[in-house]
Amino acid sequence: MKIKFRDLGIRVVYKVQRVEEVMKIIVISARTDEQVYREAAKRRDKHDFKDRMDKVLPREESDRAWQDAHSRLVKMYAAYPNLSKGVRAHTDSYIFSAAAIYLAIKVVAPEKAFEIMRDVMKENTEKIGRMLGKMMKIPGFKRFFLKMWDTMSHKNFGSTAGFCNVFYPKEKKRFKMDITACPYHKYLTELGCPEINILFCDNDVYTYGNL
């Protein structure tokens, strides 16, 4: 059987085994960094932003901002052609699109841009947090998640992805790391919208804060 965490880019293959009176999850394999899942999440998030824009803004302004965001996104890709694969996993899937949409909304409705971004990002990541919270109730999944997260964090949030971290020694029921430099801060600042960096920090709280 499989569990697909599309928003996290994780696919887990597992089987259920009965041990006395308890059903246990036996993890066979886990794959991270699935590009197809990231692309699916990115497309869905874009639709969520446009839907919210249509609700908050006059349709003409919403459509004009959406076209502007597309133009900005193309220019951002062109301005950063030589990023590493690890960094591009963040810029191309999250950073550039968020910056392009936010900056475009600011042109037509500067007082509403931050609110639109905040609300959509919060709703989407809270859904992921609730899903993970349910998964943590499966016997054995907490232990598996900590083990998987140790590997995934070094790959997806390590130096090859543009982060600087302090990884602390492993503990049985705890994972701890400090991020001291972040590509979200770097590129959002360079693109002229450092104020939305905090929204990505909040995403981590909504996703992992209640596990």
End-to-end, the C-alpha distance of the chain in Å comes to 23
* DSSP label of 163: -
Mean pLDDT of the chain: 84
Structure tokens at 56: 């908050």
Structure tokens at 147: 């083990």
pLDDT bin (cut points 50, 70, 90) of residue 32 is very low
pLDDT bin (cut points 50, 70, 90) of residue 20 is low
pTM: 0.78
User: CA 203: distance to chain centroid?
Assistant: 7
- pLDDT single digits (tens) 80-113: 999 999 999 999 999 999 999 999 999 999 999 9
Cβ-based neighbours of 114, under 8 Å, separated by 6 or more: 102, 195, 196
Do residues 91 and 187 touch, judged by C-beta distance below 8 A?
yes
Do residues 38 and 93 touch, judged by C-beta distance below 8 A?
yes
* DSSP label of 89: H
The candidate with the shortest Cα–Cα distance to 121, out of 58, 41, 54, 6, is 41
The candidate with the shortest Cα–Cα distance to 84, out of 181, 152, 160, 159, is 160
Structure tokens at 165: 């971290």
pLDDT bin (cut points 50, 70, 90) of residue 210 is confident
